[in-house]
């Protein structure tokens, strides 16, 4: 497990001060601090908040988020509430999207020509949602603003941060948020979305600031590595073969390789006892244990490329050790079934970042559990990064239907 001291990387005072909060004994979703933030969307206000969450092992955490609220008066019963779960931004504490100078704006993606920053930030469909009177809360996830190593791509932990962000929005008086809520997320956030969907018992558990009634989950290109792990893997030899297959699957380019290493980092952060040195060379392990706390996703890829060039695969051990423990750890972060409310998955046919087989397997498994599911290939040729914009008109209508109580038919195959 990562154990080095956190490097001295600048954090704005609001985020640096989160280390002073003690979440022990605090109710889930309690707002510990807030400050105004800039919103670029007319008719809205925004704040940064600090709130209490817990990870997959039920350890209390301090998490940061951003919340956007319409200027118009709230209706009786409170405003409709949605939670945005963002895609991969990195593992360092400075990588939370709420830390941007103008965090409340439409989704701003670095890899698209319109991107204006070193990282993705902002809220998809923000203008439309604000016009409809929705409150939008967007977690940074544990470790991306608040203290602790970020549990990257750990669907259970990330999903709990989403759930508790909804509770925090209800606890934040200026939001005047009602009980009914929907989650929408993309990529890592798609994984967090289906991770949240499977935690019905956690949503109903006592010890939270306010109840929430989740009406549905919108997962765009959701990642879920655990669903790919066969339950038949029970020996060290079979587990080593599977780890080597994962390494091969995600090493086709430096960008996807960075995601792979981040996933291993997140597993080690989530589960004490795992050692990155089981899977990586000693040189790579020492470098990664430092760099993961300094840089965001695209900076990480650039640093790996600078240090290793086309030899980046040599960071991986040819023969991993303790593989069965790693395989079990990956399996443990797969989202629980069955989802507590309808789930819709949107995906693009040219996605080479999150293999579509991941959400196909999740869809089939959830259907077998009797869930109300849909999995929709977006029209046209869509990459991983064009998926949020391409899906927007579809999920906005789907949201409205859920809040309006419209009946929904499952897209699961009939056996």
Q: Provide Rg for the chain, Cα atoms.
A: 20
Q: Look up the CATH number of the domain holding residue 117.
A: 3.40.50.1820
Residue 31 has pLDDT above 50, yes or no: yes
User: Do both 188 and 50 map to the same domain?
Assistant: yes
Which of 298, 331, 364 is a domain's end point?
331
User: Do both 91 and 140 map to the same domain?
Assistant: yes
Contact by Cβ (8 Å): 97, 117: no
State the DSSP code for 186. E
In a domain, 408, yes or no: no
User: Do both 197 and 270 map to the same domain?
Assistant: no
In a domain, 8, yes or no: no
User: Do both 72 and 43 map to the same domain?
Assistant: yes
Q: Look up the pTM and report it.
A: 0.96
Give 415's pLDDT tier (boundaries 50, 70, 90).
Answer: low
User: Do both 68 and 195 map to the same domain?
Assistant: yes
In a domain, 394, yes or no: yes
- Report the distance separating Cα 39 and Cα 122, nearest Å: 10
Higher-pLDDT residue of 6, 165 = 165
Give 228's pLDDT tier (boundaries 50, 70, 90).
Answer: confident
pLDDT digits (tens, 9 = 90+) for 279-292: 999 989 988 888 99
135-139: strand order across its sheet: 31-37, 44-54, 60-70, 135-139, 79-85, 177-186, 213-220, 343-347, 373-377
Contact by Cβ (8 Å): 235, 362: no
Question: For residue 272, what pLDDT is reported?
Answer: 86
What does residue 328 show for φ and ψ, rounded to 5 degrees?
-65, -35
Which of 331, 353, 385 is a domain's end point?
331
Residue 6 has pLDDT above 70, yes or no: no
Q: HEC states along 331-396?
A: HHCCCCCCCCCCEEEEECCCCCCCCHHHHHHHHHHHHHCCCCEEEEECCCCCCCCCHHHHHHHHHH
User: Do both 197 and 49 map to the same domain?
Assistant: yes
Give percent of the chain with pLDDT exceeding 70: 98
Please measure the distance between the N-terminal and C-terminal CA atoms of the chain and give it in whole angstroms. 44
Q: Domain count for the chain, please give it.
A: 2
pLDDT digits (tens, 9 = 90+) for 207-221: 999 999 999 999 999
Higher-pLDDT residue of 333, 371 = 371
User: Do both 200 and 78 map to the same domain?
Assistant: yes
β-pairing verdict for 31-37 and 60-70 = unpaired
The pLDDT mean for the chain works out to: 94
What does residue 43 show for φ and ψ, rounded to 5 degrees?
80, 20
- Report the distance separating Cα 191 and Cα 207, nearest Å: 25
User: Do both 326 and 396 map to the same domain?
Assistant: no
Structural domain containing residue 348: 13-225+335-403
In a domain, 105, yes or no: yes
User: Do both 150 and 67 map to the same domain?
Assistant: yes
What mean pLDDT is predicted for residues 379-404? 97
In a domain, 409, yes or no: no
In a domain, 52, yes or no: yes
Q: HEC states along 39-71?
A: ECCCCEEEEEEEEEEECCCCCEEEEEEEEEEEC
- Nearest partner of 262 among 292, 218, 236, 283, judged by Cα: 292
Number of H helices, E strands in the chain: 12, 9
Which of 283, 312, 331 is a domain's end point?
331
Q: Is the dihedral of CA 159, 388, 269, 98 positive or negative?
A: negative
In whole angstroms, what separates CA 240 from the centre of its chain?
27
Question: For residue 414, what pLDDT is reported?
Answer: 75
User: Do both 360 and 311 map to the same domain?
Assistant: no
Lowest mean pLDDT among 113-117, 271-275, 333-337, 360-364: 333-337
User: Do both 173 and 274 map to the same domain?
Assistant: no
In a domain, 6, yes or no: no
What mean pLDDT is predicted for residues 124-145? 98
Question: For residue 385, what pLDDT is reported?
Answer: 96
């Amino acid at each position: 497990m990562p154990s080095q001291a956190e490097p001295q990387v600048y954090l704005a005072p609001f985020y640096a001060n989160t280390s002073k909060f003690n979440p022990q004994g605090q109710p889930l979703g309690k707002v510990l601090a807030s400050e105004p933030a800039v919103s670029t969307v007319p008719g809205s206000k925004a704040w940064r908040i600090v709130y209490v969450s817990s990870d997959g092992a039920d350890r209390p955490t301090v998490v940061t988020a951003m919340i956007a609220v319409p200027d118009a008066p709230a209706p009786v019963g409170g405003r409709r509430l949605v939670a945005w779960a963002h895609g991969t931004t990195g593992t360092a504490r400075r990588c939370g999207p709420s830390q941007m100078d103008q965090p409340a704006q439409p989704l701003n993606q670095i890899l698209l020509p319109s991107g204006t920053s070193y990282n993705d930030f902002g809220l998809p469909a923000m203008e439309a949602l604000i016009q409809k009177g929705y409150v939008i809360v967007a977690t940074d996830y544990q470790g991306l603003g608040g203290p602790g190593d970020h549990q990257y791509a750990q669907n259970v932990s990330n999903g709990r941060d989403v759930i508790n962000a909804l509770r925090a929005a209800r606890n934040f008086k200026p939001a005047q948020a009602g009980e009914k809520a929907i989650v929408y997320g993309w990529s890592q956030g798609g994984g967090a979305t289906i991770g949240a969907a499977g935690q019905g018992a956690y949503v109903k558990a006592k010890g939270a600031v306010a109840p929430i009634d989740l009406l549905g989950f919108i997962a765009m290109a959701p990642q879920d590595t655990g669903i790919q792990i066969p339950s038949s893997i029970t020996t060290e030899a079979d587990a080593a073969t599977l780890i080597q297959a994962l390494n091969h699957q995600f090493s086709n380019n430096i960008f996807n390789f960075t995601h792979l290493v981040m996933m291993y980092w997140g597993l080690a952060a989530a589960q004490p006892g795992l050692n990155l040195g089981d899977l990586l060379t000693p040189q790579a392990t020492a470098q990664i244990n430092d760099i993961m706390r300094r840089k965001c996703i695209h900076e990480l890829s650039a640093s790996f490329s600078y240090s290793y060039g086309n030899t980046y695969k040599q960071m991986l051990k040819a023969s991993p050790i303790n593989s069965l423990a790693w395989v079990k750890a990956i399996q443990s972060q797969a989202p629980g079934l069955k989802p507590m409310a309808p789930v819709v998955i949107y995906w693009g046919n040219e996605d080479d970042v999150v293999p579509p087989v991941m959400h196909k397997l999740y869809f089939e498994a959830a259907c077998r559990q009797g869930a109300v599911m849909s999995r929709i290939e977006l029209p046209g040729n869509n990459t991983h990064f064009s998926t949020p914009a391409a899906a927007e008109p579809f999920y906005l209508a789907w949201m409205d239907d859920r809040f309006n109580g419209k009946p929904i038919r499952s897209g699961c195959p009939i056996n």
